[in-house]
Chains A and B, each alone.
Chain A
């Protein structure tokens, strides 16, 4: 029973990190039609910047998380305004461009932070643990769950209940008509991309509490985020949340039940979803 509860919490907390990451990817893909494969690299930048600020320089963890998000957001903004803006509706070109950025960002990170992995770090007040059914459980993981679910709620509210969300959705459905209604789509797109990239960097710091930071992270974490997007469907917050939770839980329980096969179970899940519903569980049609 105790193991089950721990596993459940582990799965949910890892799922929350994946959600923070995948939601940005899914929103830029589903609502702007931009596939940003550098999203994982932005996560990695966030993890490194966060490590420098929180662990190396000793500032507050939350300052680290916010500033890492801003650094990633600015990089994302440069990518969008400088390059991706000119590649509207050219998915192959977007893919290659963002792969190029993966290489550049990874190499710069290697240059600055070196190839030695940074250990997981957390805020001082989150370093304790409490007891779940007789087992100690770290506060930091609970904090991850709280942050993840609050961001999920905030994004859902922004997407479904606000004027900005309506503008973004309208822009994806009918670009010309939305522009004709006098909505500044360029500004909306830039803002959305900034938010997506910010979330990636922010997730980097939140996730570093579990997995630290290393230069291979950009691709490893991207793969998980892509599987989440394929499963949950692109362009909806709820889809990303469901996909991320499924992957998080399958990963956590898989590691306990079938340690050898944990990685393959994720793919297995993806294949099953593709067979049943190719557009993902809650995808918007693109």
Chain B
């Protein structure tokens, strides 16, 4: 009898990891083999899914695991993307090994500054302040033309140059595999973080902050570090996105991006590790289909998705999938 994964207590996290490696092997195999036969359009959709999956998982570190509802996570995504654009287009730094660390560092510094301001408040206020800070970056990006190229942003960002002729990432398929490798590494790191004492402390803060404080934890510092780490992973996804899309614009820093990634996390299931990636996959898929069929009405469809997601799938589809999978597994083992 599998324990019911109640969302209010949200304790299934430890169980899902130790259960079995099979789902991971299957998912990885599918993600490695499937692209070889996909048409190019769907290959780009799959690349987007991995990039936004990583982005959504990074928000989940603070949102799902620590309980900090940030509506400004696009800031780090866009910041890293912008630094990539500035490094490559403005300063002509071609090497990925220089531009990417700069981007991640930029995201980390942004998070470190924003964190000091935003973590003075909690709850709804935290959401308001992160939202305002994200919009601050957005307005800087729009107004500071000499550095950010204003409203149009940077265009013509090439594929990453890894400095090895063997690893030329020029073709979409090669770039996909590059994104896959980065995604896999980040997934591994985030899962390790999640299982570490640090990750457990974050869960503790989400469940009962006052108790953690009484136990002697420096709650503020834990939140602050989690916020920066989440910002860095968001930065990684932003760099991948800038190279993939070839451009970065103010909207990537602002409300639209931050709200979209929040929807991915809630729709996929905040608190589970891979649920947000699933939510990202769902949103990106629907977005790509809608933009083919009814581009002008996409915002409305997105809005309706928000409403349906909140009213119908509160707690996310991730936990539903876990439950179904468990049921399948247990019935299978009974038969054998």
Quick one: closest A residue to B298, CB to CB? A107
Check if A219 is an interface residue, CB within 8 A of chain B: yes
Minimum Cβ distance to chain B for residue A278 (Å): 5
Interface centre among A91, A97, A103, A286 (most CB of B within 10 A): A103
Task: Write the residues of chain A forming the contact surface with B, with a CB cutoff of 8 angstroms.
Answer: 29, 35, 83, 86-87, 90-93, 95-97, 99-108, 219, 223, 226-227, 229-230, 234, 260, 263-264, 267, 270-271, 274-275, 278-279, 286
Contact B259 A229 (CB under 8 A): no
Bound form: Cα–Cα A35–B310 in Å: 14
Check if B123 is an interface residue, CB within 8 A of chain A: yes
Check if B124 is an interface residue, CB within 8 A of chain A: yes
**Chain B 267-300 interface 0/1 with A at a Cβ cutoff of 8 Å (1 = within):** 0001000000000000000000000000001011
B300 — which chain A residues lie within 8 A by C-beta?
103-104, 107-108
Check if B21 is an interface residue, CB within 8 A of chain A: no
Within 8 A of A (CB), among B114-151: 117, 120-121, 123-125, 127-129, 131-133, 135-136, 139-140, 143
Bound form: Cα–Cα A264–B270 in Å: 33
B323 — which chain A residues lie within 8 A by C-beta?
none
Check if B305 is an interface residue, CB within 8 A of chain A: yes
Contact A229 B310 (CB under 8 A): no
A106 — which chain B residues lie within 8 A by C-beta?
299
Total contacting residues, chain B, CB less than 8 A: 39
Quick one: closest B residue to A277, CB to CB? B120
B69 — which chain A residues lie within 8 A by C-beta?
91-92, 95
In addition to A87-B310, A101-B303, 13 A-B residue pairs with Cβ atoms within 8 Å of each other are: A92-B270, A93-B266, A95-B71, A96-B310, A97-B306, A97-B310, A99-B306, A100-B302, A108-B300, A230-B132, A264-B136, A274-B129, A286-B124
Minimum Cβ distance to chain B for residue A215 (Å): 10
A270 — which chain B residues lie within 8 A by C-beta?
129, 132
Contact B132 A101 (CB under 8 A): no
Could you name 22 residue pairs across A and B whose Cβ atoms are closer than 8 Å? A83-B307, A83-B311, A87-B310, A92-B63, A92-B69, A93-B266, A96-B266, A99-B259, A100-B302, A101-B307, A102-B303, A103-B299, A103-B303, A226-B128, A229-B128, A230-B132, A264-B139, A264-B140, A267-B132, A274-B129, A279-B121, A279-B125
* Given A91-B124, A108-B300, also A226-B132 (CB < 8 A): yes
B297 — which chain A residues lie within 8 A by C-beta?
107
Quick one: closest A residue to B121, CB to CB? A278
Bound form: Cα–Cα A286–B126 in Å: 13
A108 — which chain B residues lie within 8 A by C-beta?
300
Minimum Cβ distance to chain B for residue A102 (Å): 7
**Chain B 63-80 interface 0/1 with A at a Cβ cutoff of 8 Å (1 = within):** 100000101000000000
Residue in B131, B143, B304, B309 whose beta carbon sits within 8 Å of that of A96 in the complex: B309
* Given A92-B266, A96-B263, also A35-B127 (CB < 8 A): yes
Within 8 A of A (CB), among B230-266: 255, 259, 262-263, 266
Quick one: closest A residue to B67, CB to CB? A92
Quick one: closest A residue to B259, CB to CB? A99
Residue in A92, A104, A223 whose beta carbon sits within 8 Å of that of B135 in the complex: A223
Contact A263 B139 (CB under 8 A): yes
Bound form: Cα–Cα A105–B299 in Å: 10
B311 — which chain A residues lie within 8 A by C-beta?
83, 86, 97
Q: How many A-B residue pairs have CB under 8 A?
A: 111
Within 8 A of A (CB), among B305-331: 305-307, 309-311, 314
**Chain B 10-35 interface 0/1 with A at a Cβ cutoff of 8 Å (1 = within):** 00000000000000000000000000
Bound form: Cα–Cα A92–B7 in Å: 14
Contact B299 A107 (CB under 8 A): yes
Quick one: closest A residue to B117, CB to CB? A271
Contact A96 B306 (CB under 8 A): yes
A234 — which chain B residues lie within 8 A by C-beta?
124
Minimum Cβ distance to chain B for residue A13 (Å): 23
Bound form: Cα–Cα A271–B306 in Å: 31
Bound form: Cα–Cα A229–B262 in Å: 22
Minimum Cβ distance to chain B for residue A161 (Å): 27
Bound form: Cα–Cα A107–B323 in Å: 37
Minimum Cβ distance to chain B for residue A30 (Å): 10
Contact B124 A230 (CB under 8 A): no
B136 — which chain A residues lie within 8 A by C-beta?
264, 267
Minimum Cβ distance to chain B for residue A11 (Å): 20
Contact A100 B307 (CB under 8 A): yes
* Given A92-B69, A95-B71, A97-B310, also A104-B139 (CB < 8 A): no
* Given A101-B303, A223-B135, A264-B136, also A93-B123 (CB < 8 A): no
Contact A100 B71 (CB under 8 A): no
Quick one: closest B residue to A275, CB to CB? B120
A271 — which chain B residues lie within 8 A by C-beta?
117
Quick one: closest A residue to B262, CB to CB? A96
Residue in A83, A95, A97, A223 whose beta carbon sits within 8 Å of that of B132 in the complex: A223
A97 — which chain B residues lie within 8 A by C-beta?
306-307, 310-311
Minimum Cβ distance to chain B for residue A32 (Å): 12
A267 — which chain B residues lie within 8 A by C-beta?
132-133, 136
Contact A100 B128 (CB under 8 A): no
Minimum Cβ distance to chain B for residue A260 (Å): 8
Contact A93 B132 (CB under 8 A): no
Contact B124 A35 (CB under 8 A): yes
Contact A100 B123 (CB under 8 A): no
The 10 A-B pairs with the shortest beta carbon distances in the complex, nearest first, are: A100-B306, A103-B303, A104-B303, A107-B300, A100-B303, A107-B299, A100-B307, A97-B310, A103-B299, A278-B121
Quick one: closest A residue to B133, CB to CB? A267
Quick one: closest B residue to A87, CB to CB? B310
Interface centre among B128, B129, B259, B297 (most CB of A within 10 A): B128
